[in-house]
Amino acid sequence: AYFIVQFLVLFIPSHAGLALLLMVTMYPILVRSGVSKLSALSVIAICQYIDHGPGSGNVIMASKVAEVDPAIYFVHYQLPTTLPIIIAVG
């Protein structure tokens, strides 16, 4: 579930929007599969700890400061840093 959500963060940069989507879709699936309610909520909450993706406000601002396209900034600078973190946490 964690890796699926980290993938969705790339396409849904709004933390509130993603949390609402996950509460409606993934939370019931996790609870019905035997995961405790608190654990299901923690999976949804921890996905928001890294603000990554080419649509992220932080990436857009950093790429503007570095005078680089946001997609290039994401692929060359942010992705090599966030992938090991995502794997370690997952």
As a whole number of angstroms, the distance between CA 16 and CA 66 comes to 28
Instruction: Check whether residue 59 and residue 43 sit in a common domain.
Output: no
From residue 25, alpha-carbon distances to 12, 53, 54, 79, 88 in Å are: 15, 22, 24, 27, 25
Instruction: Check whether residue 60 and residue 77 sit in a common domain.
Output: yes
- Per-residue pLDDT in tens (0 to 9) along the chain, 90 residues: 778 888 888 888 788 888 899 999 999 999 999 999 999 998 888 877 777 778 788 888 988 999 999 889 888 988 898 888 888 887
Domain count for the chain: 2
The answer to whether the CB of 43 falls within 8 A of the CB of 2 is yes
Per-residue model confidence (pLDDT) at position 32: 96
Domain of residue 79, residue span:
51-90
Write down the pTM of the prediction. Answer: 0.68
Per-residue model confidence (pLDDT) at position 53: 78
Per-residue model confidence (pLDDT) at position 30: 93
Instruction: Check whether residue 18 and residue 39 sit in a common domain.
Output: yes
